[in-house]
Amino acid sequence: MSRPSVVVVGGGISALAAAWELTGGVDGPNDTTPRVEVIEASGRWGGSLATTTFAGRTIDLGADGFLARRPEAVTLVDELGLHEELEAVNASGASIYLHGALYELPTGLVLGVPTDLAATLHFAGLTWRARLAARRDAYLPRRLEVGEDATIGDIVRRKLGRELSYQLIEPMIGGIQAGRIDELSAKSVFPALLDAAKKGGSLMRALRHSGPVNPGPAGEVVPSAPAFYSLRHGVGSLPVELVARLSARGVVLRTDVSVTALRRTPAGDYPWEVDTVHTTTPANAIVLATPAPVAGALLASFDAALDELRRIPSASTAIVTFALAREEITLLETGTGVLVPLGTTWSGDGSMMVTAITLLDRKWPRHVRDEDVILRAHVGRSDDTRASEMDDDELVTRVRAELAVLLPRFGSPSATLVQRWPHGLPQYLLGHEERVARARAASARLSVALAGNAYDGVGVPASIGSGRRAAREVLASLAISPRVT
């Protein structure tokens, strides 16, 4: 038999990380390395990780940074020899818009959940009811029985009350996921919160003692790292570098090609055939690093648990980036951004659409210029699709009107850019972990591994880890020992 063949379907960072691991990771290929082919339906690599030139800078169109306390992204950067490209976040802290004013967020927040009673009581943005709820949790906590899972909203609303839940916690953790805390699974999105709730007593105290916490499924934490890293040429430069390295390793890389079917073969050396419109590739194993509904559609006929993947919902978001001359804008003195609670009222139509503002040139040193500033406004949540119903001009007009209210001064931008990410963020609802476990058990029996942000976390490190995990599963199924990375 010729060497094993593995096909990776998808071209985002999870798929590319899987191909890197399949071809030996940091050690590179050897005699047992399988033939690897990566097939991507769109015309470019990297998924939501991409860069463009804007206002004389190279900026990211998707994630502009990644958690440094999760090791997967930093490890990959180091393996690629790009450690000198790492750029630590240049500032800390943020503000939140409450009751028509901006307030600097209190210290001691863990993904938005307060853990420092004194800091919470002194936070001017809260009403006396919210302060009373925080004090009650510290000295006379409400009882709460939780089973194997609960929504984040079920936990924090019972323990800390509605105001802290929706005015402080949801803007942060809900913003990361583009979802609602009343729908998001604590087990899948915020396992430390579920563990804290199970301990009983004060939720704030239990969470304070839980150690460093990252969003998403539980994983390794590097406590001594800075909060965030980026790359000097943008996070979107990472997939570009990976593609170049994979090409040098002999990986077959195909863009603008859609996989139309995955077929089992009755005989021969290769149990799979991966069909596109014009080609068929034989494979011993497959890594599916596509959105969950695409994976479900390709695998639905093989097992009902795989068909369930089509029912993992997702949220659409958009980012509007502005450049303004410094005399055209007034910002708060500190912090890298502003959070805006959902349902925030203002003088315009409906509630505000903007959910957060990121001050890019304050966050990353490479973006600093004397003459202007750049910032981005985030819109879109799982239950707010207003942005998708507007064209770019309408969206920019609406966002500019809201920024003029949210910021002390917001004048005339010198440049504007709209980036949309339709169905870009999977929603981890109750039962998500069990659904994924059932699907992975079924796919493993077929020598298919699942990877991507629908399964192991939505951030860049989690996506990289998901791809490499899938590759190790495939190598094990082929009886090829993966390197330890």
Residue 31 backbone phi and psi in degrees, to 5: -65, -25
Q: What is the largest CA-CA distance in the chain?
A: 73
Tell me the pTM. Answer: 0.94
Phi/psi at 315 (5° precision): -115, 145
Q: What is the token pair recorded at 438? A: 């059932």
pLDDT tens digits, residue range 136-166? 999 999 999 998 999 999 999 999 999 999 9
pLDDT tens-digit map of 47-102: 999 999 999 999 999 999 999 989 999 999 999 999 999 999 998 899 999 999 99
* Structural domains for the chain: 5-43+235-312+428-477 (3.50.50.60), 108-208 (1.10.3110.10), 314-426 (3.90.660.20)
Which pLDDT tens digit goes with each residue over 313-360?
999 999 999 999 999 999 988 899 999 999 999 998 999 999 999 999
Instruction: Give the neighbor-by-neighbor strand order of the sheet with 228-231.
Output: 66-67, 228-231, 86-88
Helix, coil or strand: residue 276: strand
Q: H or E segment at 241?
A: helix 237-248
Locate 105 and state its tokens: 């967020």
State pLDDT tens for residues 400-434. Answer: 999 999 999 999 999 999 999 999 999 999 999 99
